[in-house]
Structure 1
Amino acid sequence: MDNEYNRYYIKIRTILGINPKTIHEELAIALGSKAPSYPTVAEWAKRFREGREDANDDPRSGRPVSELTDENIELVQEVINNDLHSTDDDIIAETFLSHGTIERIIHGCLKMKKITSRWIQRKSTNASWVGEDESPTTIVRRGKFEPKNLFFIFFKSNGPVFMHAVDEGKTIDHNYYIENCLKPVVKEIWKQRKSAGTKGIKLPQDNARPHIHSDVINYLTEEGIITMSHPPYSPDLAPCDY
């Protein structure tokens, strides 16, 4: 016995003057756990006493139960086409469809699935929608341990003074720093400032071992270059190093 039959029973018993409590007890004896609750019986008995004839549910406002329409399918497809990385929440916000409807449209109608884009040598958290027969997007990215190019760049307020590219695999110690970086920089400064030379020149650098070695400090002092102290854990004071 479905809800409609239950309501017709409630209607007939109400017309006969039976109170809701007794009607509920009768339904409970006949249907057991499938019987409607007492508040439901009382509500429908009240409606029938007030003259209601129809025992069917009232029409529901809002969206119809079935939303797998061509219009909604095209709407979801358009949102995905505009942004392959859109999430379910994004699609819900754009279409105002329920989560279940969106899932049925994407997987059942559009035959699409959510995959994680593949990085080369590194995993990605990005994801995009693709068709079942399509391959995921491949994104090329430098590997973590792939060799990198290192440059020393010295500059003044009006532009670069000297740049040195470190050979691949080269170990940088204080001697390398003096011979390949500081001496060429001093030479270039004298070339640009023939009268003043290194007078008044200040060099900010971080606390890397080659920078703070005593030979480096002595060389800079001999050349008249003032070294600016660099507090530890303060990379923002030498942004060009990072």
Structure 2
Amino acid sequence: MCAAIKNPAKCKVRAVIRVFTAKQYSAAAIHRELCAVYGPNVMSEGVVHEWVRLFKSGRENIHDEERSGRPSLVTDELIQKIDGKVPENRRFTILELSDEFYYVLFCY
């Protein structure tokens, strides 16, 4: 038996699920195949069932959908400030740098 493929990309696993769904495999059979190739912790059987349902209902995209949520706090301005500070003292630690910009990031 071959060694399990470690840490596969989610989209690759979903592509395999999509192929097996097109071949009319059951979700349980797909899960067994995934576990045989990628290891037992690749994806739960419930998540496989959900993706099989989505593909059967017509979904073709294997990538995550865009989600709404909190916008990123990293801005071009913040990157420029950090880039300006680092040459001043190349021995900055991440902790010192985070203390410097804590207010900018979390106290808005």
TM-score by length of 2: 0.63
Call closer, same or farther: CA 1:51–1:110 in 2, change over 3 Å.
same
Displaced runs of 4 or more, over 4 A: none
Instruction: Report the equivalent of 1:17.
Output: 24
Distance (whole Å) between structure 2 residues aligned to residue 5 and residue 38 of structure 1: 16
Call closer, same or farther: CA 1:107–1:62 in 2, change over 3 Å.
farther
Higher strand share: 1
Where does 1:1-242 land on structure 2 (aligned, <5 Å)?
1-64=8-71, 66-70=72-76, 107-108=96-97, 111=100
Letter in 1 for 2:39: G
Q: CA deviation at 1:63?
A: 2.2
Letter in 2 for 1:4: C
Distance (whole Å) between structure 2 residues aligned to residue 52 and residue 111 of structure 1: 46
Distance (whole Å) between structure 2 residues aligned to residue 67 and residue 112 of structure 1: 11
Distance (whole Å) between structure 1 residues aligned to residue 60 and residue 49 of structure 2: 16
Aligned to 1:68, what secondary structure does the other structure show? coil
Tell me, which stretches of 5 or more residues in structure 1 are unaligned? 74-103, 114-242
Sequence identity percentage? 32
Higher helix share: 2
Provide the aligned length of Structure 1 versus Structure 2.
80
Q: Indicate the structure (1 or 2) with the bigger Cα radius of gyration.
A: 1
Distance (whole Å) between structure 2 residues aligned to residue 110 and residue 54 of structure 1: 41
